[in-house]
Amino acid sequence: MLRAGTLLMLGGATAPLAGCDLFDRKDEPPPAPDPLEPLVAGALDLAARHRAAIAADPGLADRLTPIAEAHEAHAAELRRVIGRTPPSGSPAASASAPAGADSLAALRRAEQQGRQAAAQACAAAPAERAALLGSITAARATHAEVLA
């Protein structure tokens, strides 16, 4: 009985000491950003540019809406692969877009830059991500041609 009481007292005395470990532990640093994060931002930016061009010239809606939707789908799939949930609310549109042919030329340049970024990411990506990035690269190249 004395042994049991002694063990209980010792156990009770060590329990609070174990709690001190909560304050002394070192927090792990946050994980490094995923290499695909810039592509998510780029896809959302391209979608916002297309939406802004549509707002500036509604006559371009038939031509640009499918491209904007493709960029939004790419961003959603990239987030899924990364394991991040989208922020609440819609992405902020970029500033006003130039009208008409200037708008299409600016969008084409943006698509070409986006294609280059996706191609570079594809070349550096592990095999399980390469197919998705190759598909995004091809889509952006097609978008640039549609805008020509």
Domain span including residue 67: 37-146
Residue 66 in any domain: the answer is: yes
138 inside domain: yes
Question: CATH number, domain at 42?
Answer: 1.20.1260
2 occurs within a structural domain: no
* 123 occurs within a structural domain: yes
Asked if residue 4 belongs to a domain, the reply is no
* Number of domains composing the chain: 1
In a domain, 23, yes or no: no
- Model confidence over 71-119: pLDDT tens digits? 999 999 999 999 977 665 544 444 455 556 678 999 999 999 999 999 9
3-state secondary structure the chain: CHHHHHHHHHHHHHHHHHHCHHHHCCCCCCCCCCCCHHHHHHHHHHHHHHHHHHHHCHHHHHHHHHHHHHHHHHHHHHHHHHCCCCCCCCCCCCCCCCCHHHHHHHHHHHHHHHHHHHHHHHHHCCHHHHHHHHHHHHHHHHHHHHCC
Is pTM beyond 0.75? Reply is no
